[in-house]
Amino acid sequence: MNELQKVIDTFKLNVLAVENVPESFSSTVYKVKLSDQQLVYIKIQYTKVKRDREVTVLKRLHNELPVPKLLDYWEGDDDITGALLLSAIDGVPLSEKVDPALAYDIGVHHAKLHAIVPEKLDFESAVSNEYDDWSQFIERQFYSFAEDVKEVIDHRLYERSLHHFHQLQHSLPPKDGPSFIHMDFRPGNILVYENRVAGIIDFESVRIGSTEIDFTKINRDIFSVFPGTLEAFQEGYRTVRPLIDLEKVLPFYAFVDAFNSIGWCKRRGIERNRSFMERNYGLLRGFLHKT
């Protein structure tokens, strides 16, 4: 019995059709049409840590944000890490042009996530608290990926990257939080319908930490691509909570994201991720050329 069929049997689903969901990098996701025409999603995480984290966060946030409803979950066995059964949200992953109106709404929803104040039970849950040792958390991530990066880029560029990291890190403003941070807040995890945010998905990387890191990927994929979106996003965000000075934190986190993404490509296979690797290599060179 294959993995998917075992999960289907465990959830006792009457399945009409199954589709693979692309662009899911840390789990396997299937879109499932049931015999009653209902659409649901099966998500099989690569690790039990990610599974437990997402289960915890979906239960915690379901009354606060438009997130998938956790219909059921399975803790797995010796062969499978477990699986989540999730409701469908009426929307599609953001992939088209982003205008200021949509950027404003993204800002509102992102701020709603950051405005949820972690409670005592949250600090005792499967969601790691990285806020208290925030600088060390960022360093651990950076140097973990550095082991992979040094194998695939020029040695001088690698050494300059290490120096640049410490130089910028020391100039960061005070951390902002503690808050729930998505850690992968990018267009593919933002569902839209009629140019409004319909849902936010993929919470397997969530931490309790400083909000500053959470603007990195939308800066790369939205603010840097579509004029006027940064200003609109900030306006929407500020209707919910104060916003940190992005001009002071984005140069650091954009650089770190490019560096870490090269390491990620090395781990996941350079050939399979060639275009993403080349894009981030170009970004890294650009950041260091400015110094």
User: Sign of torsion, CA 107 108 109 111?
Assistant: positive
24: pLDDT confidence band, cut at 50, 70 and 90?
Answer: low
Q: Please check whether residues 70 and 204 belong to one and the same domain.
A: no
Q: Is the pLDDT of residue 185 over 80?
A: yes
- Rounded to the nearest 10°, the torsion over CA 103, 42, 30, 196 is -20
Question: pLDDT tens digits, residue range 132-164?
Answer: 999 999 999 999 999 999 999 999 999 999 999
pTM as predicted: 0.92
- Total tally of structural domains belonging to the chain: 2
Q: Are residues 172 and 45 in the same domain?
A: no
Shared-domain flag, residues 154 and 238: yes
pLDDT above 90: residue 78: no
Q: What is the CATH number of the domain that holds 179?
A: 3.90.1200.10
Calpha distance 291→289 (Å, rounded) = 5
109 in the same domain as 83: no
Q: Look at residues 88, 114, 133 and tell me which one is the last residue of a structural domain.
A: 88
Same domain flag for 158 and 240: yes
Read off the pLDDT of each residue in 245-253 and give the average, rounded to a whole number: 94
Taking only the tens place, the pLDDT of each residue in 49-58 is: 999 999 999 9
Q: Is the peptide bond before 178 cis (omega within 30 degrees of 0)?
A: yes
pLDDT digits (tens, 9 = 90+) for 80-105: 888 999 999 999 999 889 999 999 99
Q: What is the pLDDT of residue 46?
A: 85
Q: How confident is the model at residue 21 (pLDDT cuts 50, 70, 90)?
A: confident
What Cα–Cα distance (Å) separates residue 42 from each residue in 10, 33, 34, 45, 163?
12, 11, 12, 10, 43
DSSP 201: -
Q: What is the structure's pLDDT at 291?
A: 60
Whether residue 138 sits in one domain with residue 81: no
Same domain, residue pair 67 and 104: no
Are both 106 and 84 inside the same structural domain? no
End-to-end alpha carbon distance in the chain: 56
Domain boundary among 27, 55, 88: 88
Residues 228 and 279 in one domain: yes
Instruction: State which residues form the domain around 43.
Output: 3-88
> Residue 1 above 60 pLDDT?
no
Out of 64, 88, 112, a domain closes at: 88
Q: In the chain, which ranges are E strands?
A: 15-20, 27-34, 39-45, 70-74, 83-87, 92-93, 179-181, 190-193, 196-200, 207-209
Mean predicted lDDT score pLDDT of the chain: 93
